Chain A
Amino acid sequence: MLYINCPHCGMRSQNEFSYGGDASVKRPELNKEVSDQEWDNFVYNRKSLRGKHLELWQHISGCRQWIKVERDTATHEIFRTFKADEEVA
């Protein structure tokens, strides 16, 4: 079970969180013309990375905040976590 550092609450076990997928996906702006390909990429197309991956988790049984977690998908090592509005450098 992963041990995730919620930037709001501190170290918490994985069973308090729910997984939210790739955090690097940006939703196209509202009311903007979007090509089929662009929309497909946003809704469906995801890379299944081996290695460092920035992903979303929601601290659903805690502060209910969505957070970003930098995790290695192969080793499960977690490098850093970020608040939703924090820039990932």
Chain B
Amino acid sequence: MTQAFRIENGGLINKDKKLSFKFNGKTYLGYEGDTLASALLANGVHLVGRSFKYHRPRGFFGAGVDEPYAVVQLFRNGETEPNIKATEQELFEGLEAKSVNCWPSVNFDIGAINNFLKIFLPAGFYYKTFMWPKSFWYRIYEPFIRKAAGLGVASTKHDKERYEHKYEYCDLLIAGSGPSGLAGAYAAAKNGAKVILAEDKPRFGGSLLTSDVNIGNQSGKDWADGIVAELKKMPNVVVKNRSQIFGYYDHNMLVMSEKVSDHLPSTKKYHPNKRLWYIRAKEVLISSGSIERPIVFGNNDTPGVMLSSAAKEYLKVYGVLVGRKPLVFTNNDSGYETAIEFKKHGVDPIVLDSRKNPESEIIDEAKNLGINIKNSYVVVAAQGYKKVKSADIASISEDKKQLGKIENIQCDCICVSGFWTPTVHLASQSGNKTKFKEEIDAFVPGQSKQNEITLGAANGVFSLEETLKTSFTAGSELSKKITENDNKIAIPNVVEKKSSQHDRFWCVPLPKGKNYKRFLDFQNDVAVSDVEIALREGYRSIEHVKRYTTLGMATDQGKTSNLNGLQLVSEIENKVVPAVGHTTFRPPYTPVSIGAIVGREVGKHSKPTRKSPMHSWHEKNDAVFVDAGVWLRPRYYKRGNENLFEASKREAKNVRTNVGVCDVTTLGKIDIKGPDAAELLNRVYTNAWLKLPVGKARYGVMLREDGIVMDDGTTTRISENHYHMTTTTAQAANVLSHLEYYLQLVWPELNVNVVSTTEQWAGAAIAGPKSRDLLQKLFPNSDVSNEGLPFMGYMEGDLFGVKARIYRISFSGELAYEVNVESDYGNFMWEKIIEVGEEFNIQPYGTEALSTLRIEMGHVAGSELDGRTIPFDNALEGLVSKKKDFIGKRSLQRSAFIAEDRQRIVGVVPLDKQTSIPEGSHLVKDDKAPLPNPKLGHISASCWSVEYDNPFSLAILKDGKNMIGQKLFAMSPLKNKVIPVEIVSSHYVDPKGERVRS
């Protein structure tokens, strides 16, 4: 393939390295340093896609982030990514891309029929048309819209790429490496400030890469290269290309997306694809430059119509001619610079200038080169469907309302310049209220809100000399404040051409009898007529006009369309632009890939996985694990072909008949020390704690201030001023914060310290009628008899040389103990228990058996303590002290909490003693009652009772106290079940609690 539009000499690309790539299945060649856009243009490809609504042919309009058209589907290393701007995507060997938004192909697109029906697709068409009949929506309208609309297609595969997050701090962060950014960075770096310089493009230098200027007797580009090389050598400076600062957040936090690997055929091993930087900067210099805006004319979306600055960039940076018969249409001097570049490469441009008689150095140079210049001339309409073939041009009256006789001239591209719009996005995001600057017809940043300053073109200053002067000074001053160094820097001599005033002209009137589409927003197909309709229909606020017409809502976020939209609204409304105002600039400035935002927190890394010290034993012994918060706990230990039901039943039964051991390391543990420890417990628990003797444990219930149960657990008095508190696994962190809150803020006079010891202790619950025999063998030197270690007793013991804490507490309702050792000895303890327990037929049991055991005993857990229940509801009112005050006590007097028919925990047994009741089922009186069937309560937990060998459930039931013996229905519409049930006591097994005391 030949690159017919590549010039012999010139461009910053590496012509020694050819790269082959595919676009829409066809192979082309480009060079290292190309973008996909420049490489396609070098091959004369101008048709890259179809527009969003009318499916009109689309080419290239810009050369960077502002590109509204050239959005492609990219294929790289077996992955695909949608909505990539061809103007930003760097070329690599083997790159593949396809057009989006066209079906069946970019050259023949069925959706383009919309183009001929466009009279039916004005602003608000979708809102008005697809409203009725309602039943049509899912079957007809939505599939139609989905097929016809939309850009690229997201991959449904798991993304193999890696994304990183990085936190960074600096004295001065600089957005943009144009003249302002480089000068600011250099001055600040020389003062020893910690500087981060971010450039979104691969090349540093910004406008200096394409402008014809001289700084300190060098070309602008050479000067930029020199500064960058020097900055890179300085240890206090981070220089980053391919890095877009896309958001300015509170307290000078800015976020930058660094494309680490997108320019490579595949990501290097151990490298991320993208890196997201969270940067906290003391000062921010916004040197984001400006974006050229178009002039609106008929068919201005035809491929071959592009920004004049883009044409210049393709020529100077990439050595590509966007056409051989260019027409330049301008209202300011910038168009002449492009025309001069064409002329220098042997191409004869025609310049149409809307101004009557402009005079400046640049225009003089153009004239001297013999460029054909037509003053007071405009492009009325572009002609050609898939590519510009000619242009209808005409002279225009001084008031810009009357067109002269229309002539048609041949051309193959139209380079348009409607002057420059400062990129104020970052400043605006920081909270800076922008102000309208009449001289440039655009908004610039106003008063600084955070520690930010905007300079250069981004501040509406287009003179290089002034930009360099202000930026060097700002860099020095800002860094001097921080580092207290004051190294003077000589500001280099600048040679640039003075330009003349631009023409306040942005839209060519329609000639009589013609109804050309004049587009404002190229990606979303919003034309002048759409905005006119919106205003006619009563939309006034610019925010409403935006949403109704979708002006500026596409992936380019209106970078080229916003200001012309405002001009139009202000003209129709007869207001000045600042009175119309602009829509809010929100981050991100450019699209950021979801992967970069998520970073490493995907899959298993989305949360930490906590494992007990006995985890590897569980694994080796066929444990099936379950997530318990961030912990992994054995749910059951699988033997042979057992399923969950069979295994948990076996394990629970073995606890009831022999002895079982359960890993309870995950329970929250808090060490409480200090002379006022008992007083603290007495205030946070509902029951009395002042008289608990040393060596004894007590069960306690904790409330929130609103009277709802927060947590339960046992606390043991280890010594006079030392307690060991346990919490549920889920509430461990909240309980610690809760205690800290009261100790630090409410009762600072209490002399108590609390600290989490969850990780420090490994725990094993030994439960079952044979647990004491086993314990005696584990601790042969301790007296673990019922007298020596009674129920709720505590002692320390020696476990084969390891110091252990032994608590006689029970969650299973059996005779039971909990043994704790320091975590490092957890596995040792576990293996000893299994080894010694063999003669008592010990079996490990998981959370499923644990649940069975506690449910049939009527012990409450998280499913009952669900943030909606008070102690009474859980049959825990016996633990609520009437004598003392405690957190949440006053709330228990609320009328709903003392109502006669207050909800309460009950047991539920199916009448057929066979059908398990799904958790979450509702209890109702009449299963045939019309919906909504009044709900009396809900099933909180279900199990298969191993004691009675039938299903058993717990429920929270209205007036539960008086419902024992009643027959109700458990209904689960989700599982499609209706089960007749009987209400029984929640204490299904051993209601007197004799076993735990045996």
Contacts and interface: CB of A to CB of B under 8 A. Distances in A.
Given A1-B251, A30-B683, A85 B748 contact: yes
Interface in B836-890: 884-886, 890
Contacts of A1: 249-251, 253, 278
Contacts of B886: 30
A47 interface: no
Nearest to A27: B746
Interface in A27-80: 27-28, 30-31, 34, 39, 42-44, 56, 58, 60, 64-66, 75-76, 78
A8 to B, nearest CB: 11
How many chain A residues sit at the interface, stated as a range, is 20 to 34
Size band of the interface chain B makes with A: 20 to 34
Contacts of A2: 250-251
Contacts, number: 54
Given A3-B280, A39-B890, A43-B705, A84 B251 contact: no
A3 B740 contact: no
Interface string A1-16: 1110000000001000
B668 to A, nearest CB: 15
B731 to A, nearest CB: 15
Contacts of B167: 13
A20 B745 CA distance: 11
A39 B748 contact: no
B252 interface: yes
B657 interface: no
A78 B745 CA distance: 21
A62 to B, nearest CB: 13
Nearest to A76: B250
B706 interface: yes
A55 to B, nearest CB: 12
Contacts of A66: 740-741, 744-745
B706 A43 contact: yes
A80 to B, nearest CB: 15
A78 to B, nearest CB: 8
Q: Is the interface of A mostly helix, strand, loop or mixed?
A: loop
Contact of A56 (B252, B745, B891): B745
Nearest to B756: A64
Contact of B280 (A13, A30, A34): A13
Nearest to A28: B890
B12 to A, nearest CB: 38
Nearest to A58: B737
B431 interface: yes
Contact of B740 (A27, A31, A39, A58): A58
B281 to A, nearest CB: 11
B890 A20 contact: no
B884 to A, nearest CB: 8
Nearest to B737: A58
Given A18-B737, A39-B891, A75 B885 contact: no
A44 B737 CA distance: 20
Interface in B237-276: 249-253
A3 B744 contact: no
A3 B251 contact: yes
Interface in B884-943: 884-886, 890-891
Nearest to B707: A43
Nearest to B704: A43
Contacts of B885: 30-31
B733 to A, nearest CB: 8
B437 to A, nearest CB: 25
Interface in B648-705: 683, 705
A64 B886 CA distance: 24
Contact of B744 (A13, A31, A44, A84): A84
A86 to B, nearest CB: 11
A42 B705 contact: yes
B745 A84 contact: yes
Contacts of A44: 706
A34 B890 contact: yes
A58 B741 contact: yes
Contacts of A64: 740
Contacts of B683: 30
A66 B885 CA distance: 24
B280 A43 contact: no
B253 A65 contact: no
A27 B683 CA distance: 13
B553 to A, nearest CB: 27
Contacts of A3: 250-253, 280
A13 B705 CA distance: 30
A84 B748 CA distance: 9
A85 B748 CA distance: 8
Of listed B740, B741, B744, residue having the most chain A CB within 10 A: B744
Nearest to A33: B890
A39 B740 CA distance: 22
A75 B431 contact: yes
Contacts of B744: 65-66, 84-85
B280 A20 contact: no
A63 B399 CA distance: 70
B165 to A, nearest CB: 11
A1 to B, nearest CB: 5
Contacts of A65: 740, 744
Contacts of A31: 884-885
14 contacts: A1-B249, A1-B251, A1-B253, A2-B250, A30-B886, A31-B884, A43-B706, A43-B891, A56-B745, A66-B741, A76-B250, A78-B251, A84-B745, A84-B748
Given A3-B250, A27-B705, A66-B741, 17 more contacts: A1-B250, A1-B251, A1-B253, A3-B252, A13-B280, A18-B737, A31-B884, A39-B890, A58-B737, A58-B741, A65-B740, A66-B740, A66-B744, A66-B745, A76-B250, A84-B745, A84-B748
Interface of A: 1-3, 13, 18, 20, 27-28, 30-31, 34, 39, 42-44, 56, 58, 60, 64-66, 75-76, 78, 84-85
| Nearest 5 pairs of A and B residues by beta carbon | A3-B251, A30-B885, A84-B744, A31-B885, A66-B744
